């Protein structure tokens, strides 16, 4: 067998040969594990024919599809380095990443190709359509398109008896070498290329396997972007390695589309970001709970239990009805939302991580002998350690620092950023601020880069204020920032909810000022908001749905 990382996929193809592996939800096309293996083998023949070298970079841009996943598996199992690029990036950023990563081959969707300027490619040998793997561009002097015409013949020559289990042989590349360069824009700066090794990814995959979050025959609906570490590790790599059937949504995951897909697929485990749950809670559940008759019923213990049970069943059914856990990550979970989910005994867990850890650092998971602790992101996962840069880590917040198996090799071609990311004694700086209790549970207070220093030197964590403000009526999104030494909130109103309630735009300023007063009652004097400023449009966000704060801080 090949190395441990690639070996997981080699084993999966042979072990689960006849099982369903991947389905395109839109196209309704399904690949078995054997068919995935054959498609991977065809791309390996192509890579041989056009002389792709070990550690050549292969850029991959596009929606979640089986072809995306097959390309990823083909590249890493050949010994190349995958450069997944989020399809939501601006074409100029896509072009920059392809150039910066020194990608030799590019796989992308046809419409993305239309937005790129081939004259700006530096070192790119060929570009392939991710939908059917045809070569749509080759650099001057290349013969890739000719090789494509001969591919079926070459494949038949290599496998004259057809592609069989015994033909599955992948590369033998050291797990400490880079397997993926994952570019992440982040909320406070420019994109950097995170170098993840095979062992970094193995750490995440093997932890998932040690829980019941992956398993043979599991039904998985992947809607998180696979170019992001969270979706890639837990919706795809971990699941494929253990024989799951992965359905690729291949559409923008609006709540309406997503809930219909959940109903059809009936996933076993769901990996999501908080935004989806919060929208369903705010739009479908909270209005019912706020009705006078419902409040009255909830005040009666014998009725409240039945009502909570009914709400739980409705919510579980809306997510397909057969999942054992819903894992929330990628951004902080709203405190009120968490309290509600606990109250109705909803099966959920909260993870914490970052691309630089491929991505998992900790998990708050009420299973496998662990206790779910409110407001925490849990304890560190296997083979990882955490410390707080503080004189009193249990009481005084400090930067959360980690080290261990999941931690990246560094930033590609950026020694300065790599050096800044690590302490002198080798711990990686997360940029998050928090505490760790005596039982090892991590509590995040905010980002060190977003922390505001009060007039008398107090630390103000805007995320905590935002959580309070977000729970109030007619607040769709908000950020808390410092302007001219004052703490202010920018709010994008929930115009749809206003229209439904017959609230006029002219009343908005008065409503928001009441919100300001209500929030300030819950804050220390140095944290209080001096104003709420109406922001007329949605805030620009990263693919993880985090607001790009740096665009609004001036």
pLDDT at 1 over 50: no
Q: What pLDDT is stored for residue 457 in this prediction?
A: 60
pLDDT at 234: 96
- Of 238, 248, 12, 225, whose CA–CA distance to 131 is shortest? 248
pLDDT at 305: 77
What average pLDDT does range 227-248 have in this prediction? 96
pLDDT level of residue 215 (50, 70, 90 thresholds): very high
Distances (CA, A) of 517 to 134, 167, 357, 471, 514: 60, 69, 40, 14, 5
State the pLDDT at residue 188.
Answer: 36
Handedness of CA 335, 340, 236, 263 (dihedral sign): negative
Helices (H), 385-504: 415-421, 462-470, 495-501
Q: Which residues contact 314 (CB under 8 A, 6 or more apart)?
A: none
List the alpha helices (DSSP H) in 422-472: 462-470
Does residue 472 contact residue 515 with C-beta atoms inside 8 Å?
yes
The answer to whether residues 325 and 304 touch, using CB atoms and an 8 Å cutoff, is: no
pLDDT at residue 318, as a whole number: 86
pLDDT tens digit string along 131-145? 999 999 999 999 999
Tell whether the model's pLDDT for residue 407 goes beyond 80.
yes
Q: CB–CB of 22/30 below 8 Å? A: yes
Average pLDDT over residues 12-32: 97
- In whole angstroms, what is the distance from residue 270 CA to residue 177 CA? 31
Range 452-551: architecture per CATH: 2-Layer Sandwich (3.30)
Q: Are the C-beta atoms of residues 70 and 40 closer than 8 Å to each other?
A: yes
Token readout for 23 is 């389905």
Q: How much of the chain exceeds pLDDT 70, in percent? A: 93
Answer for the pair 126, 138: CB distance below 8 angstroms, yes or no.
yes
Helix, coil or strand: residue 529 = coil
* pLDDT value of residue 86: 83
Residue 453: beta bridge partners? Answer: 459
Cβ contacts of 203 within 8 Å, gap of 6 or more = 358, 360, 381, 382, 383, 384, 404, 405, 406
Please report the pLDDT score of residue 454 as a whole number.
67
Positive or negative, the CA dihedral 38, 40, 44, 47 is: positive
What residue spans define the domains of the chain? 4-198, 269-321+324-446, 452-551
DSSP 236: I
Say if residue 480's pLDDT is above 50: yes
Q: What is the pLDDT of residues 161-202, one digit of tens each?
A: 999 999 999 999 999 999 999 997 533 345 789 999 999 999
> Is the pLDDT assigned to residue 315 strictly greater than 70?
yes
Higher pLDDT, 507 or 282: 507
Tokens for 356, please give them. 């630089």
Beta carbons within 8 Å of 151's beta carbon, 6+ residues apart: 42, 45, 46, 49
Q: Taking all residues of the chain, what is their mean pLDDT, rounded to a whole number?
A: 90
Q: Give the integer Cα–Cα distance in Å for 246 and 266.
A: 11
**Please, which pLDDT band fits residue 295 given cuts at 50, 70 and 90?**
low
- Report whether pLDDT(274) > 90: no
Structure tokens at 342: 């606990």
- Paired strand residues for 120: none
What is the predicted pLDDT for the residue at 445? 85
CB-based burial of residue 453 (10 Å sphere; 0-12 exposed, 13-18 middle, 19+ buried)? exposed
The DSSP output letter for 547 is B
- The pair of three-digit structure tokens given for residue 229, joined into one six-digit string: 């570490």
Q: What is the mean pLDDT of residues 327-333?
A: 84
CA 310, CA 552: separation in Å to the nearest integer? Answer: 42
Query: Given this model, what pLDDT does residue 187 score?
Result: 36
Phi and psi of 3, rounded to 5°? -60, 170
State the architecture of 4-198 in CATH terms.
Answer: 3-Layer(aba) Sandwich (3.40)
Phi, psi of 120 (to 5 degrees): -95, -5
Q: What is the pLDDT of residue 11?
A: 96
Residue 106 has pLDDT above 80, yes or no: yes
Q: How confident is the model at residue 525 (pLDDT cuts 50, 70, 90)?
A: confident
Question: How many residues are listed for the chain in this entry?
Answer: 554
Domain 269-321+324-446 CATH superfamily: ANL, N-terminal domain (3.40.50.12780)
Question: What does the pLDDT read at residue 368?
Answer: 65
**For residue 456, pLDDT beyond 60:** no
Contact 246, 23 (CB under 8 A): yes
Phi-psi domain of 413 (left: phi exceeds 0; alpha: psi -120 through 50; beta: other): left
Tokens 């001969």 -> residue:
150
Give the contacts of 189 (CB within 8 A, at least 6 positions apart). Answer: 550
Q: What is the radius of gyration, based on Cα positions, of the chain?
A: 25
CA torsion sign for 507, 512, 517, 522 is positive
Quickly list DSSP for 55-87.
T-EEEEESSS-HHHHHHHHHHHHHT-EEEEE-T
Place of tokens 């004052």: 486
Least confident of 18-27, 109-118, 213-222, 414-423: 109-118
CA angle 104, 105, 106 (to 5 degrees): 130
Which of 49, 52, 109, 99 lies closest to 76, judged by CA? 52
Residue 450 pLDDT exceeds 50 = yes
Give pLDDT tens digits for 339-390: 889 988 999 999 999 999 999 999 998 766 678 999 999 999 999 999 999 9
Give the pLDDT band (50/70/90) at residue 56.
very high
Residue 303 has what pLDDT?
66
**Of 108-112, 275-279, 376-380, which range is least confident?**
275-279
In this structure, the dihedral spanned by the alpha carbons of residues 250, 13, 265 and 202, taken in order and rounded to 10 degrees, is -80
Contact 215, 244 (CB under 8 A): yes
Instruction: Please list the alpha-helical segments (H only) found in 383-507.
Output: 415-421, 462-470, 495-501
Question: Do 269-321+324-446 and 4-198 have the same topology in CATH?
Answer: yes
């Amino acid at each position: 067998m090949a190395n441990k990382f690639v070996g997981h996929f080699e084993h999966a193809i042979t072990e689960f040969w006849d099982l369903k592996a991947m389905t395109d939800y839109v196209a309704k096309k399904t690949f078995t594990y054997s068919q995935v293996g054959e498609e991977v083998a065809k791309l390996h023949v192509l890579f041989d024919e056009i002389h792709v070298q070990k550690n050549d970079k292969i850029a991959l841009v596009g929606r979640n599809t089986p072809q995306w996943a097959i390309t990823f598996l083909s590249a890493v199992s050949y010994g190349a380095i995958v450069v997944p690029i989020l399809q939501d990036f601006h074409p100029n950023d896509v072009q920059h990443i392809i150039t910066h990563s020194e990608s030799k081959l590019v796989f992308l969707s046809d419409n993305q190709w239309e937005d790129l300027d081939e004259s700006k490619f530096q070192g790119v040998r060929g570009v392939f359509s991710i939908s059917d793997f045809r070569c749509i561009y080759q650099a001057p002097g290349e013969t890739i398109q000719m090789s494509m015409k001969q591919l079926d013949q070459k494949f038949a020559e290599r496998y004259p008896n057809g592609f069989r289990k015994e033909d599955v042989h992948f590369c033998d590349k050291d797990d400490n070498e880079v397997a993926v360069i994952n570019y992440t824009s982040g909320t406070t700066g420019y994109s950097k290329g995170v170098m993840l090794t095979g062992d970094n990814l193995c750490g995440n995959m093997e932890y998932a396997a040690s829980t019941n979050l992956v398993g043979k025959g599991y039904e998985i609906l992947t809607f998180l972007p696979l170019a992001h570490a969270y979706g890639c590790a837990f919706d795809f790599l971990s699941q494929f390695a253990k024989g799951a059937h992965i359905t690729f949504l291949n559409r923008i995951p609006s709540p309406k589309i997503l809930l219909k897909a959940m109903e059809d697929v009936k996933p076993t485990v769901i990996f999501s970001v908080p935004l989806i749950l919060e929208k369903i809670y705010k739009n479908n559940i909270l209005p019912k709970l706020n009705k006078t008759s419902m409040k009255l019923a909830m005040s009666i213990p014998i009725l409240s239990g039945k009502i909570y049970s009914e709400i739980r069943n409705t919510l579980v059914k809306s997510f397909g009805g057969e999942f054992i856990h819903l894992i929330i990550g990628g951004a902080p979970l709203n405190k009120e939302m968490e309290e509600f989910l606990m109250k109705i005994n909803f099966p959920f867990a909260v993870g914490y991580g970052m691309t630089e850890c491929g991505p998992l650092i900790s998990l708050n998971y009420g299973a496998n002998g662990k206790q779910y602790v409110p407001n925490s992101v849990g304890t560190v996962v296997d083979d990882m350690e955490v410390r707080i840069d503080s004189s009193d880590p249990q009481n005084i917040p400090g930067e959360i620092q980690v080290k261990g198996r999941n931690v990246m090799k560094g930033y590609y071609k950026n020694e300065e950023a790599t050096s800044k990311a690590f302490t002198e004694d080798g711990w990686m700086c997360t940029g998050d601020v928090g505490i760790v209790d005596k039982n090892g549970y991590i509590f995040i207070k905010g980002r060190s880069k977003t922390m505001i220093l009060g007039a008398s030197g107090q630390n103000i964590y805007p995320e905590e204020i935002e959580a309070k403000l977000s729970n109030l009526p007619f607040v769709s999104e908000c950020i808390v920032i410092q302007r001219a030494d004052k703490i202010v909130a920018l709010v994008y109103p929930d115009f749809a909810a206003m229209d439904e309630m017959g609230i006029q735009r002219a009343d908005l300023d008065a409503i928001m000022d009441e919100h300001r007063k209500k929030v300030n009652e819950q804050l220390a004097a140095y944290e209080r908001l001096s104003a709420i400023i109406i922001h007329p449009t949605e805030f620009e966000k990263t693919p993880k749905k985090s607001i790009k704060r740096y665009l609004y801080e001036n």
